[in-house]
Amino acid sequence: MRESTTIEPRATLPRRLGLWSAVAVVIGTTIGSGIFRSPASITNRLPGPLPLLSVWVIGGALALCGALTLAEIAGAFPHTGGIYVFVREGWGRLPAFLFGWAELVIIRAAALGAIGITFAEYLLRVLGFDPTKPPYDAYAHYVAAIAIIAMGGVNIIGVRFSSWVQNITTIAKYVGLLLIVIVAITLGFPRTGGHFTPAAPPGSFSISAFGLALVSVLWAYDGWADLSFISGEVKDPRRNMPRALILGALAIIAIYLLANVAYLAVMPVEEIRTSRLVAADVAQRLVGAGGVVFVSSTVMLSTFGTLNGSILTSPRIWFAMADDGLFFRKVAAVHPRFQTPYVAISIAAALGAGFVLLRTFEQLADTFVTAIIPFYALGVASIYVVRRRADYDPPFRTPGYPVVPALFVLATIYLLVNAIIDPSSRWGTLAVMGVTLVGIPVFYLTVGRRPAPVAKRAESAAD
């Protein structure tokens, strides 16, 4: 048994998730709306096959750099809250509070809204309605709000039940996406010869456009870090957390690259640019109306599972904050029957339902990425601080350290600077950053006045 000076949580949740359930959380929270909705906006900025595939490769490489780093830190600090805990351990209470503040007022509501609206649009399409035309474009927002509230209820009932939902929907969505890839490549490529040339037409690449496209790609890859939020509920976390993060990230990168190759095998870039529901359009060309129903059902399951995974993981941030005394203590309440953080889950569901009624998918997705990547960078960069501790004993060491974490951090800085420089995204980016920084006076006027909890020596919960 090793000893640690890390602050141990007072409120605890039972460890019920095994390795494959943890892998399902990584894959299930990542593969959602992005791979089905983002290609249109990405190709609009990079209208060439080579730039398009390149941005997906680089986005996957950055996600893997982040996952490899968090695999080490999460194994060393297997506590509920994930990134929040890593930022607190590396940089202190104020940055950790700002992460929770941003999650509360921007990040989580935007993420749930973007996922929910995609689920609703594909549901309407399965039912025979066009979600891009009135009045169904408005109805989609109400359907999304209902779905978010319903998944909040599922997660209050229990983590075991929601993990079953996650496991089933993850298998279904991965197999469904793989079938789309196989059909598109085996049927579409022989008919069209693919749409891979010219590889980089004139005007299809610029540094600024690449950076904005990378934001959309990182939205699609987001979810690789969500497992860390429920570290406190993973069995044998020192062994299972690193394995689940790495296995999940590799599976996601592989299927995303194959999906984009499949899209290009059937549709040219010019048509992908205007296709909001690209996977369904690909299927319709190949196998007709039946293919549309299959793809739409796959996307429904995909976004349903991601919605479940996001509500399963993200409320644990506020739970951990409340347990630390950085949020209302009631938010750390554990349901006496279901053993879940029901207050935190209710807050997440209510905020997500509110946001989805007010904003579009593109607004929600870009807002989410802009708000969360600085904290991902802080979480990843905390490895440089915690590695200097005498009692730091991770079960896994990041390969390529210190270069791998540095690549992720530098890429994050590039994305933020590029978003500020580019006129099309400048004011939205500054607005998101401004709302986040409002958390500084909020911190000092409220919880910042309280003394920090005294670190206590305790046996690690991981042992």
Each residue of 207-219: pLDDT tens digit?
888 988 998 898 7
- pLDDT tens string 270-294: 999 988 778 888 888 888 878 878 8
Q: How confident is the model at residue 456 (pLDDT cuts 50, 70, 90)?
A: very low
For the ranges 12-26, 168-182, 203-217, 316-330, which has the lowest average pLDDT? 12-26
Which of these, 391, 383, 294, 380, lies nearest to 99 by C-alpha position? 380
pLDDT value of position 253: 92
**Superfamily of domain covering 12-447:** Amino acid/polyamine transporter I (1.20.1740.10)
Which of these, 55, 96, 103, 104, lies nearest to 79 by C-alpha position? 96
Contacts of 288 by beta carbon, 8 Å cutoff, 6+ apart: none
3 pLDDT higher than 70: no
More confident residue, 451 or 148: 148
With beta carbons less than 8 A apart as the criterion, state whether 305 and 173 touch: yes
Mean pLDDT value across residues 228-234:
83
Write b or e for each residue in 100-121: b if 16 or more Cβ atoms lie within 10 A of its Cβ, otherwise e. Answer: bbbbbbbbbbbbbbbbbbbbbb
pLDDT value of position 319: 87
Mean pLDDT value across residues 122-150:
89
More confident residue, 33 or 203: 203
Count of C-beta atoms within a 10 Å radius of residue 197? 11
Q: What is the pTM of this model?
A: 0.82
User: Could you say which DSSP state residue 104 is in?
Assistant: I
- pLDDT tens string 150-200: 999 988 987 777 778 888 888 888 998 899 899 999 988 888 888 998 999
- pLDDT tens string 418-444: 889 888 888 888 999 999 999 999 999
As given in the structure block, the two tokens for residue 314 are 């993200």
- Residue whose token pair is 């929270």: 29
105 pLDDT higher than 80: yes
pLDDT value of position 385: 96
Average confidence score pLDDT of the chain: 85
